[in-house]
Amino acid sequence: MIDLAETKRALDGKSPEAVLEWAFGAFPRIGISTAFGPEGCALVAMAARIKPDIKIFTVDTDFLFKESIELREKFAAKYGVHIEVVRGEVSIEEQNKKHGLNLWQRDTDLCCALRKVEPTERVLKGLDAWVAGLRRDQSKTRADIDVVEYYERPEGPLYKVNPLLHWTRKDTWDYLLKNDIPYNPLLDQGYKSIGCWPCTKPVDADADERAGRWGGQKAECGIHTFMARKG
């Protein structure tokens, strides 16, 4: 356990690198989750310099764009990091048999729960803290995130660390381009946020960052909302 209020005060205004260094020192069992969006790319590049053996995990929903898979492989090669790829316990075949074809068209929440949330929750059971690449200005659902958050679980407390909470989209891109960090080429083709190919579309330049996901039905897949935040 940490003194959450004091930790938040101590980290207020610190750089993402400083927050990462604190987190890596505070929690022996810590990992970074990423879908290799721009923020995740920035975080992995930072973390690889600070702690090359940091646990990095990503969810393969079996519906990823080929560009997303290629980017994941490029990161592993460029930064020399091991990226754990996790998948849902329910295969696509089993999902289709039980729920029918194209579940995402009828129940996006259930599809995301099977393909994204379940494997993430499984990995988190082995961790005391996880690092995510969320920004406050990405959407209304993320406007109140904090640098360190506390969640209760049957297996013990879980802390979530958001080093990029104060960054803007411009900050993210400035960092990527300045440091020659790879990113998904679909982001140069009108996509602002990239998930599974059936539920991700390009959007207008002035559209909300999450507008191209799930046909506008929702802004979150559930990975960042399936647990109740306690602090």
Count of Cβ atoms closer than 10 Å to residue 204 Cβ: 10
pLDDT of residue 218: 87
Kindly report, residue by residue over 166-224, the tens digit of the pLDDT: 999 999 999 999 999 999 999 999 999 999 999 999 998 888 888 889 988 888 898 99
Q: Binning pLDDT at 50, 70 and 90, where does residue 135 land?
A: very high
pLDDT of residue 231: 85
**What mean pLDDT, rounded, does the chain reach?**
94
Q: Just list the catalytic residues.
A: 221
Examine the pLDDT at 1 and tell me if it is beyond 80: no
User: How far is 159 from 148, CA to CA, in rounded Å?
Assistant: 7
Average of per-residue pLDDT across 224-231:
87
What are the residue ranges of helices labelled H in the chain? 4-11, 16-26, 38-50, 66-79, 92-99, 103-106, 108-112, 118-124, 169-178
Average of per-residue pLDDT across 61-81:
97
Phi, psi (deg, nearest 5) at residue 107: -150, 85
Kindly report, residue by residue over 189-205, the tens digit of the pLDDT: 999 999 999 999 999 88
Q: Binning pLDDT at 50, 70 and 90, where does residue 64 land?
A: very high
Query: Cα–Cα distances in Å, from 113 out to 62, 73, 99, 199?
Result: 14, 25, 13, 14
Average of per-residue pLDDT across 75-87:
97
> Domains (ranges, CATH) in the chain?
4-216 (3.40.50.620)
